[in-house]
């Protein structure tokens, strides 16, 4: 028997990537493991996945399973751009702040970033960089990329996505969506996936799995075939073509064929709401001196500000990240396996450290 090396009683709020694999996803991997299947995506699981995503987004789409979110974003964006093209995004976007320069170094993509205090682009923010077409001295802004939910835990409404898409398309650009937490957005908005993606004008979409219970499975979904070229070749070029793709596809089928994707996301969002509500109640009762919040809690993340030294002491018991250490801002993330007991213990720890401060 393989030795278990970690203490399973330790819980953290640093990232939804800290969670394990959902048991139903593990079971799907095991079920796909018997016998032989054709490699490189010519298997029955990858074929079924096309049908599953067509059920969510409509006929005429094409899904390309990949290993991770960075691979999905870089490869998807490459397929939308010529060599001289640029992408407009929020400065907080994952493609700009958390992908190690992969869009520029691997994808050869110029990023044109703008500050977005709540993580969400607007038409006005986009227009700060949407200019210079025909000028050979400027990388051509040809794609806008938005994140759903954003890196700050906020969600675009379907109307907001549609307004951006219309504005982008009128200017000859296309719209990409980084949907690493797409399920959390659907749970927050209480909408089907298609309502704020394809029906709202998104052209190419990264669909997340890993943050919602998969072992390591994401997908690029082309919603508008006219906006993407060459993904068959780019996926291999970017080292995102799985030889045993059936195992990647089986994970996404387990999540998206039934209700597991939305049930898990609703649970994660609900735990974040439980955390926020408990802390709000503590503030109202005078039990949380110095605690504040920097963003609305719309999905599975809570962004808070703490007095000096509190975060470091609290981290001795619960792992989480600073977001902006200069102003004491931290990020607390919940996942599909966060329990009510986890939240209650964390709230008690926050209360103790704030009282000690």
pLDDT, tens digit, 9 for 90 and up, residues 160-199: 999 999 999 999 999 999 999 999 999 999 999 999 999 9
Q: Please answer whether residues 228 and 80 qualify as being in contact, where contact means their C-beta atoms are separated by less than 8 angstroms.
A: yes
How many domains does the chain fold into?
A: 2
The verdict on residue 4 lying in a domain is no
Return d(Cα 24, Cα 30) in angstroms, integer: 10
CATH code, domain with 160: 3.40.640.10
Q: How many CB atoms lie within 10 A of CB 282?
A: 17
CATH code, domain with 276: 3.90.1150.10
> 152 phi and psi, to 5 degrees?
-105, 15
Single out the residue of 325, 337, 353 nearest to residue 300, CA to CA: 337
pLDDT for 338: 97
Q: Could you tell me the pLDDT band of residue 140, with boundaries at 50, 70 and 90?
A: very high
Q: How many CB atoms lie within 10 A of CB 74?
A: 27
Average pLDDT, stretch 226-234?
98
- Estimate the crossing angle of helix 260-284 against helix 182-189, to 10 degrees: 70
- What value does the mean pLDDT of the chain take? 97
Q: How many CB atoms lie within 10 A of CB 234?
A: 21
Select from 258, 277, 294 the last residue of a domain.
258
Single out the residue of 253, 242, 186 nearest to residue 213, CA to CA: 253
Residues 6+ apart with CB under 8 A from 357: 289, 290, 307, 309, 310
Q: What percentage of residues in the chain have a pLDDT greater than 70? A: 100
Q: Residue 140, Cα to own-chain centre: how many angstroms?
A: 26
Q: Could you tell me the pLDDT band of residue 2, with boundaries at 50, 70 and 90?
A: confident
Residue spans of alpha helices (H) in 3-92: 23-31, 44-57, 69-78
Whole domain around residue 233: which residue ranges?
Answer: 23-258
Both 224 and 281 in one domain: the answer is no
> 220 phi and psi, to 5 degrees?
-95, 125
Both 161 and 277 in one domain: the answer is no
Q: Could you tell me the pLDDT band of residue 9, with boundaries at 50, 70 and 90?
A: confident
Cross-strand pairs, 90 = 114
The verdict on residue 29 lying in a domain is yes
Q: Could you tell me the pLDDT band of residue 109, with boundaries at 50, 70 and 90?
A: very high
The verdict on residue 221 lying in a domain is yes
Q: How many CB atoms lie within 10 A of CB 225?
A: 12
Percentages of the chain per state (helix, strand, coil), in multiples of 5: 40, 15, 45
- Whose structure tokens read 């819980």? 11
pLDDT for 357: 82
pLDDT for 166: 98
Q: Could you tell me the pLDDT band of residue 234, with boundaries at 50, 70 and 90?
A: very high
């Amino acid at each position: 028997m393989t030795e278990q090396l970690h203490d399973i009683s330790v819980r953290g709020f640093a990232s939804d990537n800290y969670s394990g694999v959902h048991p139903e996803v593990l079971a799907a991997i095991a079920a796909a493991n018997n016998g032989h299947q054709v490699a490189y995506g010519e298997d029955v699981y990858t074929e079924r996945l096309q049908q599953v995503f067509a059920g969510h987004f409509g006929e005429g789409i094409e899904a390309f399973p990949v290993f991770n979110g960075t691979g999905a974003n870089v490869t998807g964006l490459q397929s939308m751009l010529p060599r001289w093209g640029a992408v407009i995004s929020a400065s907080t976007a994952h493609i700009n702040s958390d992908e190690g320069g992969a869009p520029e170094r691997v994808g050869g993509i110029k990023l044109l970033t703008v500050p977005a205090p709540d993580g969400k682009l607007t038409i006005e923010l986009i227009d700060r960089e949407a200019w210079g077409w025909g000028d050979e001295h400027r990388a051509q802004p040809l794609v806008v990329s938005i994140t759903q939910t954003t890196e700050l835990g906020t969600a675009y409404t379907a109307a907001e996505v549609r307004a951006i898409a219309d504005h982008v398309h009128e200017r000859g650009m296309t719209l990409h969506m980084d949907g690493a937490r797409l399920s959390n957005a659907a749970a927050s908005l209480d909408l089907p996936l298609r309502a704020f993606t394809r029906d709202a004008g998104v052209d190419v979409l990264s669909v997340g799995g890993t943050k919602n219970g998969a072992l390591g499975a994401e997908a690029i979904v082309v919603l508008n075939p006219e906006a993407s070229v060459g993904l068959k070749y780019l996926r291999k070029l970017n080292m995102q073509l799985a030889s045993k793709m059936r195992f990647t596809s089986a994970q996404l089928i387990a999540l998206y064929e039934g209700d597991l994707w939305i049930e898990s996301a609703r649970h994660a969002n609900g735990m974040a709401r439980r955390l926020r509500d408990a802390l709000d109640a503590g503030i109202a009762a005078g039990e949380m001196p110095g605690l504040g919040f920097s963003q609305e809690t719309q999905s599975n993340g809570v962004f808070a500000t703490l007095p000096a030294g509190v975060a470091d002491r609290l981290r001795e018991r619960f792992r989480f990240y600073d977001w902006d250490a200069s102003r004491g801002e931290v990020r607390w993330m919940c996942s599909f396996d966060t329990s009510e007991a986890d939240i209650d213990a964390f709230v008690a720890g926050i209360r103790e450290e704030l009282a000690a401060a």
